[in-house]
Amino acid sequence: MEHVPPPRLEGTVALPDGRYVGFAEYGNPNGRTVLWFHGTPGARRQLPPPARRLALDRDVRLIGLERPGAGDSSPHFYDRVLDWTDDVEVILDHLGVDRYAAIGLSGGGPYVLACAAAHPERMVAGAVLGVLHPQPAPRLPRVG
């Protein structure tokens, strides 16, 4: 069976309003930061095993963030997708990240685009993979 690297660091970040966002970090803690926004449903560990391995080989700090209601993140509904970016900014500051790139899989794609719009000086690159528009869901399953 193929070895899948576990997270190097895993936990939650407290937001100013008392909510939490779960994260899992892979790769080099001093490398270039790439945020991974999971699909729907999904969670912080929904990173392809090859990406986890490449993060180490390519000097990348790969961080999977959970949107509200997934994994260890508190449930919350945003009025706009753009509101996610305020939470991301708090997380980046907490983790000591100045500049970053972001990748969004499926339902995570719109959140990459929102970050690009909200953080033009901080976000250096973005990619969206198989993007869907956000879908309201009364409850997401716990994954991760």
Task: Please report the pLDDT score of residue 71 as a whole number.
Answer: 93
Question: What are the tens digits of pLDDT across the range 105-144?
Answer: 998 999 999 999 999 999 999 999 987 665 555 554 444 3
Q: Are 61 and 96 in contact (CB under 8 A)?
A: no
Q: Are 126 and 115 in contact (CB under 8 A)?
A: yes
pLDDT greater than 90 at residue 4: no
Task: Please report the pLDDT score of residue 5 as a whole number.
Answer: 79
Question: What are the tens digits of pLDDT across the range 63-98?
Answer: 999 999 999 999 999 989 999 999 999 999 999 999
Q: Which CATH number fits domain 9-129: 3.40.50.2000, 3.40.50.720, 3.40.50.1820, 3.30.230.10?
A: 3.40.50.1820
Q: Are 45 and 62 in contact (CB under 8 A)?
A: no
45, 116, 77, 134: CA torsion to nearest 10:
-80
Where are the chain's structural domains? 9-129
Task: Please report the pLDDT score of residue 137 as a whole number.
Answer: 56
Mean pLDDT of 40-67: 92
Q: Distance (Å, rounded) from C-alpha 106 to C-alpha 39?
A: 5
pLDDT greater than 50 at residue 16: yes
